[in-house]
């Protein structure tokens, strides 16, 4: 594996899922692989799980880790080419990425969507500029349009908990007052569309995701209908793609409750976290045995380790 930016960088999903499960069984089996290798974790946005799980995975593989919060620990970075840098950004990504690439064997970057300019966000400017100028492999720690390490952890979790070969998986929009990116939902669609599953995406009208991510998933505007017989309910809020970055509704009837979970076939509830309790999903659901959110977050370590192992093997 050279870079890990999206599903397209994966050679074989089942092998990668198995690598994650192997790492979970034996975390230190490949400790020599990362010896004397350094990963730089570059954050433009906050994180709990991604930061800790990727650091832990790198350490399990024997790597050194350098972490940096852009704009707090470092200078603010200009991304656009040919600009007159007379604003608040003191350094251009051309130099910054190239310098980071001299200190690190792998660079991992988190940079969320701005949600103001769809064309700009969907061009993945930050990730592509780091890829262009760092001169070393780049790993996506959640970009404007995707969160592939999360999606791999989700696939590992579904593999562990599925009770039938072809489970019914439902991605449901959840209410939220703040505009949030589409990245987790996009990525979940992209990855689940490559698994053997009955896949349904449900959301209010106006929240359709970009067609290239929805693919062949069935879209329903009726959440109750979508939940019927489901094995997995994956909750996530996202802002509108069509009316880009806008909150069109906060309809509380889309919150996942135990009554909604009763429509499923003893389905499991998943969410990437962080989650706002009793706004997106009730305490009763999150605190029930049907919730997999902690197992899912724990699997972020094994998802990151499987990917880092693949990238290290390609160095």
Q: Which residues bind ligand CP (CB under 6 A)?
A: 47-50, 142, 150, 272-274
Q: Are 255 and 282 in contact (CB under 8 A)?
A: yes
Q: Does the annotation list 277 as a binding residue? A: no
Instruction: Check residue 215 and give left, alpha or beta (phi > 0: left; psi -120 to 50: alpha).
Output: left
Tell me how far apart the alpha carbons of residues 269 and 291 are, in angstroms, rounded to a whole number.
5
Q: Tell me whether residue 54 or residue 129 sits nearer to ligand CP (CB atom).
A: 54
Q: Does the annotation list 75 as a binding residue? A: yes
CB of 224 to ligand CP, least distance (A): 27
CB of 274 to ligand CP, least distance (A): 6
Runs of H (alpha helix) within 26-115: 49-60, 93-103
**What CA–CA distances, in Å, run from 158 to 17, 162, 164, 307?**
10, 6, 11, 18
Q: Does the annotation list 191 as a binding residue? A: no
Q: Tell me whether residue 146 or residue 203 sits nearer to ligand CP (CB atom).
A: 146
Burial class (CB in 10 A: 0-12, 13-18, 19+), 251: exposed
Q: Tell me whether residue 78 or residue 106 sits nearer to ligand CP (CB atom).
A: 106
CB of 36 to ligand CP, least distance (A): 27
Q: How many CB atoms lie within 10 A of CB 291?
A: 21
Q: Tell me whether residue 30 or residue 139 sits nearer to ligand CP (CB atom).
A: 139
Q: Does the annotation list 91 as a binding residue? A: no
CB of 308 to ligand CP, least distance (A): 16
Q: Tell me whether residue 107 or residue 272 sits nearer to ligand CP (CB atom).
A: 272
Q: Tell me whether residue 46 or residue 242 sits nearer to ligand CP (CB atom).
A: 46
CB of 61 to ligand CP, least distance (A): 19
Q: Tell me whether residue 50 or residue 305 sits nearer to ligand CP (CB atom).
A: 50
CB of 214 to ligand CP, least distance (A): 21
Q: Does the annotation list 50 as a binding residue? A: yes
Residue nearest to ligand CP (CB): 50
Q: Does the annotation list 120 as a binding residue? A: no
Instruction: Return the exposure string of 15-34: e unless at least 16 CB atoms fall within 10 Å of the residue's CB, then b.
Output: ebbebbebbbeebeebeebb
Q: Does the annotation list 146 as a binding residue? A: no
Strands (E), the chain: 38-43, 64-69, 77-78, 91-92, 106-110, 138-140, 168-173, 198-202, 218-220, 232-236, 268-270
Q: Does the annotation list 51 as a binding residue? A: no
CB of 231 to ligand CP, least distance (A): 21
Tell me how far apart the alpha carbons of residues 220 and 256 are, in angstroms, rounded to a whole number.
16
Q: Does the annotation list 148 as a binding residue? A: yes
Tell me how far apart the alpha carbons of residues 193 and 196 are, in angstroms, rounded to a whole number.
8
List the one residue out of 112, 108, 121, 188 whose CA is nearest residue 148: 188
Residue numbering of the annotated binding site for carbamoyl phosphate: 47-50, 75, 110, 147-150, 272-273, 300
Residue numbering of the annotated binding site: 47-50, 75, 110, 142, 147-150, 176, 236, 272-273, 276, 300
Residue numbering of the annotated binding site for N(2)-succinyl-L-ornithine: 142, 176, 236, 276
């Amino acid at each position: 594996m050279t870079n890990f930016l999206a599903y397209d960088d994966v050679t074989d999903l089942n092998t990668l899922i198995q690598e994650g499960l192997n790492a979970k069984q034996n975390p230190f089996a490949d400790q020599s692989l990362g010896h004397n290798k350094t990963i730089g974790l570059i954050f433009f946005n906050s994180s709990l799980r991604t930061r800790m799980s990727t650091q832990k995975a790198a350490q399990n593989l024997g790597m050194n880790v350098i972490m940096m919060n852009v704009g707090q620990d470092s200078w603010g970075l200009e991304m656009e080419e040919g600009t007159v840098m007379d604003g608040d950004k003191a350094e251009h990504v051309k130099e910054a990425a190239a310098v980071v690439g001299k200190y690190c064997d792998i660079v991992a970057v988190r940079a969320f969507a701005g949600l103001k300019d769809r064309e700009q966000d969907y061009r993945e400017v930050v990730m592509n500029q780091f890829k262009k100028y760092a001169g070393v492999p780049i790993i996506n720690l959640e970009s404007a349009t995707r969160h592939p390490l999360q999606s791999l952890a989700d696939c590992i979790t579904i593999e562990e908990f599925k009770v039938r070969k072809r489970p019914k998986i439902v991605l449901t929009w959840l209410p939220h007052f703040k505009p949030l990116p589409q990245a987790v939902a996009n990525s979940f669609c992209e990855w689940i569309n490559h698994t053997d599953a009955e896949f349904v995406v449900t959301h209010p009208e106006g929240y359709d995701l970009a067609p290239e991510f929805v693919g062949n998933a069935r879209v329903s505007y009726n959440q109750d209908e979508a939940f019927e017989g489901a094995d997995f309910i994956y909750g996530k809020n996202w802002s509108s793609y069509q009316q880009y970055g806008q909150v069109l509704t906060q309809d509380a009837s889309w919150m996942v409750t135990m009554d909604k979970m009763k429509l499923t076939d003893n389905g499991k509830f998943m969410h990437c976290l962080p989650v706002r309790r009793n706004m997106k999903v009730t305490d009763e659901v999150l605190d029930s045995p049907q919730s997999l959110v902690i197992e899912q977050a724990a699997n972020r370590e094994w998802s990151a380790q499987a990917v880092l192992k693949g990238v290290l093997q390609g160095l």
